Amino acid sequence: MMTMFFVVGSSLLAAATAVGFGLVLFRRDQSDTHVLLRGVDLPCSYTFRDGYLLSDAVRNDPFLADPDDRVAAWGDLRESLVALNHDAGRAMDALRTRGDSFLVTARIGDDDLSVSGRLQQGRSVVSISSTTPGSDRRLVDSAGLDAMTDELDLLRHALAFGEMALWQEDDTGQIVWANKAYFDLLQRTDPAAETLVWPIRRLFPPDKEAESGSSSRVTLDLPDSPDPLRFEHENTVYQRGALHVARPIDRLVAAETSLRDFVQTLSRTFAQLPIGLAIFDKRRQLVLFNPALVTLSTLPSDWLSARPDLPAFLDRLREHQRMPEPKDYKEWRAEMAALEQAARDGTYQELWTLPNGQTFRVIGRPHADGAVAFLFEDISQEVTLTRKFRGDLDLYQAVMDDSPEALAVFAKDGRLVFSNAAYDTMWPAATGAGVIEASRQWQEACAPSPLWGDLRDFVGGFGDRCAWSEPVETADGCGLVCRMAPLKGGATLVGFMPRGVLASPRPREAAPVGGGDRPQMAAAAP
């Protein structure tokens, strides 16, 4: 008797616990939950905002452990539904994070449940209804069904709107579904066909060796177009078959063809240039070079075609002595890093004097997308001519400096372009000055004379351009002879020579001839 009383009491305690904590009953015994659901009005709905329960919950709600705890209600409902259907957890997570609607089913005893979720005005709504035939409850939640129908209609329009051809194949390779773009391609490939008969034919040949997720380029010939359509085809495993997609890439192929033709045109153009060109991409790998670079660098063309990086390229130039030999290798490496930075900023330009006497002008220029271009120009002849020209100028300057006459050459616009040492000594205040300022200095240092106005007109090209001279006298009584002579290009030579001063003869010693001593000779004075 006492044992029976204990069993009955335990049963009552378990029933009371089941009423207060329906979640435990879900996990332990679904038949008890089935009994509890008889007292729940279905369909029932739960409204959440950011996981917080907004709607009212019944006291003995079998899906919530504690109906009064609105913060934990989302987690309680999720765990309860996962115990009925494992897909319910992922569906609820997708509803809360992305707003994806869902519809899952579950069975408890004799009751079939339909669980739907949707996003409504920024709130997550989860509805539970019964689908048991013959029950006096609603068979499905109309709001959830409407949401699912709207989403299905949206997906259908999205698949029909795009240009990508989509189709599904079963395990035998037969097409069981296709979107509007695929049907449009079928119509274009066979315009005479009025109706389509299932199973519809393949447009693209099957590739049995293609792995799931791999992509390949395929073409499709059309009777009304001389050029085929080009697609990028991908496939993925779906259920017991595969899902395929073909994206049109005609514009991409046209762009690639145009780019390739442009690069070939540039390559042919660069091939005629005597300047070596090397272009490195943003990863500093060689992507383009011309034959002149092979000639100037003496590097093998096959090695350059292997796309070396910039440090390897510079190291190879150093090995072939096609760049200045560094005294300190570490310092040279730091300079090469600075070279790359300067080229990226568009400021690098330097002359490389090679050990064999050649001279390269190296210029670095930035290009699009982080690329860097280097130009190598052999300017050895230019440097040689420049040095010879500079030597000739120095020789002429030395000859003029040896003359006792103070000489100055003015351009047509009055600029001083040349003066010798005697001029700088005689007129130190006018050194480097134009004809206007220089003539003012001469006028202040000499007695009044109309010569200076005529001299300015002569330099400016006004009046007669025949050579002439005229004596002038300085303020301290020294007599000078000022002469003017026209030169090529409208320039004018102005010279000053003291009156009555002749160059003193300078003795010179002759070089020995035939092993004997040549007697010393002196120039006789006139």
pLDDT at 512 over 50: no
The tens digit of pLDDT for each residue in 119-147 reads: 887 789 999 887 766 554 444 556 666 77
Number of domains in the chain: 4
User: Are 365 and 346 spatial neighbours (Cβ–Cβ below 8 Å)?
Assistant: yes
End of a domain among 347, 378, 409?
378
Residue 23 sits in the same domain as residue 128: yes
CATH number at residue 39: 3.30.450
| DSSP, res 139 | S
Residue 15 sits in the same domain as residue 141: yes
Residues 491-525 as b/e (b if ≥16 CB within 10 A, e otherwise) read bbbbbbbeeeeeeeeeeeeeeeeeeeeeeeeeeee
Confidence (pLDDT) at 133 = 60
The tens digit of pLDDT for each residue in 107-125 reads: 776 677 888 998 887 789 9
Within a 13 Å sphere around the CA of 227, how many CA atoms are in the beta-carbon half? 7
Residue 150 sits in the same domain as residue 176: no
Residue 135 sits in the same domain as residue 176: no
- How would residue 410 be classed by pLDDT, with cut points 50, 70 and 90? very high
The tens digit of pLDDT for each residue in 29-49 reads: 444 444 455 556 677 889 998
Residue 114 sits in the same domain as residue 55: yes
The tens digit of pLDDT for each residue in 224-238 reads: 778 888 888 888 888
Confidence (pLDDT) at 64 = 86
- How would residue 408 be classed by pLDDT, with cut points 50, 70 and 90? very high
Average pLDDT over residues 301-314: 90
End of a domain among 130, 154, 178?
154
Mean pLDDT of the chain: 78
Residue 222 sits in the same domain as residue 240: yes
- Furthest-apart CA pair in the chain: how many Å? 167
E-only strand ranges, 227-328: 229-238, 241-248, 276-280, 286-289
506 lies in some domain: no
- How would residue 384 be classed by pLDDT, with cut points 50, 70 and 90? confident
pLDDT at 305 over 60: yes
pLDDT at 409 over 90: yes
Confidence (pLDDT) at 327 = 74
507 lies in some domain: no
Confidence (pLDDT) at 482 = 92
Distance CA 472, CA 478 (A): 9
Question: Which tokens is 424 given?
Answer: 């700088």
Residue 399 sits in the same domain as residue 374: no
Residue 50 sits in the same domain as residue 101: yes
Is 106 or 362 the better-scoring residue by pLDDT? Answer: 362
pLDDT at 14 over 50: no
Residue 203 sits in the same domain as residue 87: no
Residue 370 sits in the same domain as residue 394: no
Residue 233 sits in the same domain as residue 279: no
The tens digit of pLDDT for each residue in 202-231 reads: 888 776 666 666 778 888 888 877 888 888
Give me the domain span that covers residue 343: 273-378
